[in-house]
Structure 1
Amino acid sequence: MTNVTSFPGRKITVDASKKLYFGGTAYLGLQQHKQFLKVYIDNIKKYGTNYGASRKSNIKISVYDKAEKYLAKIVNSEACVTVSSGYLAGQLVCDYFKSEGHSLFYAPNSHIALHQQKTKNYTTYKELANAIDNYLKISNIPPVIFLDSIDFNGLNYPSFIGLQKLPLDKIIVVADDSHALGLSLNNGAGCYSQLKELKPKELLVCSSLGKGFAIQAGAIFGGSKRIEELKNTAFFGGASPATPANLATLLNADAIYTKRQKKLQQHILLFLEGIQTKDKFSYMPNHAAFTYNDQKITTYLEKHNIIVTSFNYPDKDSPTMSRIVLSAHHKKKDINKLITLINTLYNL
């Protein structure tokens, strides 16, 4: 484990030495972007650093409705509701469907944010399909399937092949879109429209807004009626919302987001054009993360002052998750150095 004393941006300081950082989830690299920080600080001055009141309070701040309409338009959903984090978004949807008597099923590689009470993922979509078939034989209550749209193993986005083999007209689908929403793929819209085209009985999408939009907040997208039902729960009413300064920044930084999405896309194309060992990586079209199993890559890059994501996830007993993550805050020379080192490692 490496401890740092400031935000791990393009570079980090480890043992008094500057190193390039290709990890984390700051895909657009906005957390230290001067123009973005100015927008954020101006909104903190207007709205304060925190807002701890319930969204059900008799005093309402208009920026919440504005931000939710803005997000719904980006994603092309009927409605949206925001919460304080992506994790809370997932837990709110889990709690809601469980309390309504639905049975919850978890697709391979679904994120822990979608789980409750030590539920487990199915290992394969075939196992999941068998479980769903058996369930539908004994119950008329629609099952709810939870999955990550971006699972870093190619099982879902972009084709969602496993999902398409299920009887989706009888299933409520809930997808965590945290690693797609706001990024360069699908022009920042995430995977909502793609999933909607599969025609599930109902679709809800949960997401963190931190990875793509660089603000601490979460969101849930779906039909207007279901979103209103979620807003009327005690779970939602009892939780503090995202801070209004964060959501105001989301509204005010639209031009910055668009510019950074384009820059990230350029970095992805540059890396793919230069790397000669694509077979060593698992990656998805237009996405900035490149997962690998060969730990020689981690060691070799660190030896040459590049740190990547590599740790046991989500707990100490889990396999090592190793990933190169490109960001809009990287420079062209950073990407070229990364390419040269990886090609040299494999003597290409």
Structure 2
Amino acid sequence: MIQIEGVPGRTTYVNGEEFLFFSGFAYLGMTSLPEFNTLIMEGARKYGAVFPSSRISNTRSALYEEFEEKLSGFLGLPASVSFSSGYMASKAAASFAAEHSRLLYTPGIHPSLHIQESSTPVSEEWREDIIGKVNEEVNESFTIVMESVNPLTGEVQDFSWLDQIRNPVRLLVDDSHGIGILGEKGEGIISFLPKIPPIRYLVCYSLAKAFSCEGGGISGEEEDIKAIKKLPWFTAATGMSPAFIHAWNNSGPLFDKQLASLKNNILLFDQKISGVPSIRHDARLPSYRIREEACYEFCLQYHILLSAFRYPSENDPLMARIVLNALHSEEDMEILSTCLHEFYKTVKI
């Protein structure tokens, strides 16, 4: 384990030494922008760091409703509800779905989405199994549970198989690693989901990843969101910090600028690592999966810090990844690509 110092951005510090930082999930690099931090402090002064009242109390803040309307408009879905974290949002979404349907899980689901009592185990032929259950068991209500981005492969999930669904079904998608990045304006996986009448979408997400705002949300149909607002996950929980809500509400141009920089960095880096074997990458995402564990240690020698941890459990193989953010310069990416080319000269693939 490596203890880093200060706020990581394009670089970070370890024991007083500077390292290029290609890890974490602050994809847009918001916490390194003075304008963004000013908005957070402005929000704290205006509304407080914490709103000291329940979301269902007789004393409420209009800030939350304004924020949730903006979330709905951003994703293009009828209604939204916010939470203090993405984890809380996904637990609420899964709990709601489990109360009203049988959950059909797909591979790589985040632990927060698991409601064991209502789940169906994942098989190797999971697509065929799900299509069969939904189309044949007409008297049963189902919710398909998916991640927008496969955490094991670092690729955007393929949703084309949903075209084979014939009966009504809810699709719960965790878009924590897609919102803010995917789509023309960062609206997330919703821009890639097929518009099929039988499918009712419910999207949960963290706002801490791309947007660097501690909080989360769920967006979907009005009826579903109203029901979620009656759950203890909402009624008995502290709301998202008003400081971050204010920052999100007023950072649209900053988000757009950083997303453009990130997409440009992805294009540049793809060119620089052309010919490097064994790196798995989806061109829509800023993460690059590395198969060889030794690459992490090799880069570390050159003061380059990659993402590396065992997932989903400590007994699984080390998962090494390169994570670009909007702050990286072309020189940063040139240094990393040179290091990768050198490493793979020494490795037999």
Asked whether the 8 Å contact 1:23–1:326 carries over to 2, the reply is: yes
For 1:263-314, what per-residue CA distance to the aligned partner results, in whole angstroms no more than 9, with x for missing partners?
A: 1111101000111245422222221011121113212111111011111123
CA distance in 1, matches of 2:12, 2:204: 31
Q: Which residue of 2 aligns with 1:206?
A: 204
Residue 230 of structure 1, CA deviation: 1.0
Q: Counterpart of 1:18 in 2: which secondary structure? A: strand
Asked whether the 8 Å contact 1:184–1:262 carries over to 2, the reply is: no
Q: Which residue of 2 aligns with 1:29?
A: 29
For 1:127-166, what per-residue CA distance to the aligned partner results, in whole angstroms no more than 9, with x for missing partners?
A: 35325625765561221111111114569736424x4365
Residue 123 of structure 1, CA deviation: 5.1
CA distance in 1, matches of 2:345, 2:61: 59
- Are 2:316 and 1:318 aligned? yes
Q: Which residue of 2 aligns with 1:150?
A: 149
> 1:79 is aligned with what amino acid?
A
- Are 2:108 and 1:72 aligned? no
CA distance in 2, matches of 1:7, 1:115: 32
Larger displacement relative to structure 2 (303-312 or 197-206): 197-206
Q: Which residue of 2 aligns with 1:114?
A: 113
Aligned residues: 345
Q: Which residue of 2 aligns with 1:267?
A: 265
Asked whether the 8 Å contact 1:184–1:261 carries over to 2, the reply is: no
- Are 2:255 and 1:257 aligned? yes
Structure 1-normalised TM-score?
0.91
Q: Counterpart of 1:213 in 2: which secondary structure? A: coil
Distance verdict in 2 for CA 1:30–1:272, change over 3 Å: same
CA distance in 2, matches of 1:208, 1:103: 24
CA distance in 2, matches of 1:282, 1:121: 27
Residue 178 of structure 1, CA deviation: 0.8
Q: Counterpart of 1:183 in 2: which secondary structure? A: coil
Map 1:257-336 → 2, pairs under 5 A: 257-277=255-275, 279-336=277-334
CA distance in 2, matches of 1:343, 1:149: 31
CA distance in 2, matches of 1:221, 1:152: 22
Please tell me the root mean square deviation across aligned C-alpha atoms, in Å. 2.3
Q: Which residue of 1 aligns with 2:129?
A: 130
Q: Which residue of 1 aligns with 2:225?
A: 227
CA distance in 2, matches of 1:73, 1:230: 19
Q: Counterpart of 1:54 in 2: which secondary structure? A: coil
Distance verdict in 2 for CA 1:261–1:56, change over 3 Å: same
Distance verdict in 2 for CA 1:99–1:189, change over 3 Å: same
Larger displacement relative to structure 2 (188-197 or 171-180): 188-197
Residue 7 of structure 1, CA deviation: 2.7
Residue 10 of structure 1, CA deviation: 2.1
CA distance in 2, matches of 1:185, 1:137: 34
- Are 2:19 and 1:19 aligned? yes
CA distance in 1, matches of 2:273, 2:154: 23
Q: Which residue of 1 aligns with 2:245?
A: 247
Asked whether the 8 Å contact 2:154–2:281 carries over to 1, the reply is: no
Map 1:47-62 → 2, pairs under 5 A: 47-62=47-62
Asked whether the 8 Å contact 1:209–1:217 carries over to 2, the reply is: yes
Q: Counterpart of 1:212 in 2: which secondary structure? A: coil
Asked whether the 8 Å contact 2:147–2:157 carries over to 1, the reply is: no
CA distance in 1, matches of 2:278, 2:52: 47
Q: Which residue of 2 aligns with 1:346?
A: 344
Asked whether the 8 Å contact 1:158–1:285 carries over to 2, the reply is: no
Residue 106 of structure 1, CA deviation: 1.2
Structure 2-normalised TM-score?
0.91
Asked whether the 8 Å contact 1:110–1:147 carries over to 2, the reply is: yes
Q: Counterpart of 1:291 in 2: which secondary structure? A: strand
CA distance in 1, matches of 2:229, 2:336: 46
CA distance in 1, matches of 2:108, 2:277: 21
Q: Which residue of 1 aligns with 2:84?
A: 84
Identity %: 27
CA distance in 1, matches of 2:197, 2:41: 42
For 1:209-230, what per-residue CA distance to the aligned partner results, in whole angstroms no more than 9, with x for missing partners?
A: 1112110010101111211111
Asked whether the 8 Å contact 2:88–2:233 carries over to 1, the reply is: no
Distance verdict in 2 for CA 1:65–1:226, change over 3 Å: same
Q: Which 5+ residue runs of structure 1 have no aligned equivalent? A: none
